[in-house]
Amino acid sequence: MSSTQISTSLAVSENGFLFLPTTGETFTVNETGRFILRRLQEGREQQEIISSLIDEFDVEPVDAQRDVLDFIGQLRQYHLTDTQ
């Protein structure tokens, strides 16, 4: 699986508050969402993120897999990913 490029300028606070300086848009994200976002920003592979999510949280692998894909879909919907 490939990695997803997150807009490099996206600022994510510890509170789960997101600010995209290029557009001025703000977002809120929950704990698991922040967990995934941070790892995407670090350039981690999708599969690696899913594994670390399963290690850290009480979640079934099949749910983690589906939810990470869905979350990346949400990021794409908000144009927070750099399409390459």
Partner 1 sequence: MDKKKYERPVILKQQSGLMNKFGSATSTQPMTDIEGVPVAELAAAYGSPLFVLSEKKMRDTQQQCQRIFRSRYPKVQFAWSYKTNYMNAVCSIFHSEGSWAEVVSEFEFDRARHLGVRGEHIIFNGPAKSAAALEKAVRAHSKIHIDHFDELYELIEITTSLGLKADVAIRVNVDVGIYPKWDRFGFNYENGEAREALKRIAASKTLRIVGLHMHIGTYIMSTEPFRVAVSKLVALANWLKQQLAIDLDYIDVGGGLPSHNTLKGQYLQADETLPALEQFADAITAPLFELESHGDAMPTLILESGRALVDGAGYLISTVLAVKRLSDGKRAYVIDAGINLLFTSLWYKHKMVPAQPTGVMREQANIYGPLCMNIDCIQEDASVPALKKGDRVVLMNVGAYTMTQWMQFITFRPAIVLITADGSPHVIRKAESLEYVMSLEEIPPSLRSLSA
Partner 2 sequence: MKIAVTGLNNTDNPAPGVPVIRALRDRWPDSLHVVGLLYDALEPGAYLADVADANYMIPYPSAGLEQLFTRISSIHEVEKFDIIIPTLDSELNGFIKLAPRLAALGIKLFLPTEDQLRLRSKDKLVDFCSAHGIIVPRNVLATSVQDLYTIAQEFEYPVAIKGIFYDAAIVNNLDEAIAAFRRMQAKWGLPVVVQEFIAGDEYNVCALGDGARTIGAVAMKKLYVTDKGKGWSGITINDPALLEIAQKTIAALQWRGGIELEFIRERETNSYYLLEINPRFPAWVYLAVGAGQNLPAALVDLITGAAVTPFEKYSVGKMFVRYSWDHITDIAQFESLTVHGALRHG
Binding footprint of partner 2 on the chain (CB under 8 A): 13, 15-17, 19, 26, 28
d(CA 51, CA 53): 5
Cβ atoms within 10 A of the Cβ of 18, count?
19
Nearer to partner 2, 17 or 57 (CB): 17
Decide: helix, strand or coil at residue 24.
coil
Instruction: Indicate which single residue of 4, 6, 33, 46 sits in contact with partner 1 (rule: CB under 8 A).
Output: 33
Give me Rg for the CA atoms of the chain. Answer: 12
Nearer to partner 2, 18 or 49 (CB): 18
Q: From the CB of 26, what's the least distance to partner 2, in Å? A: 7
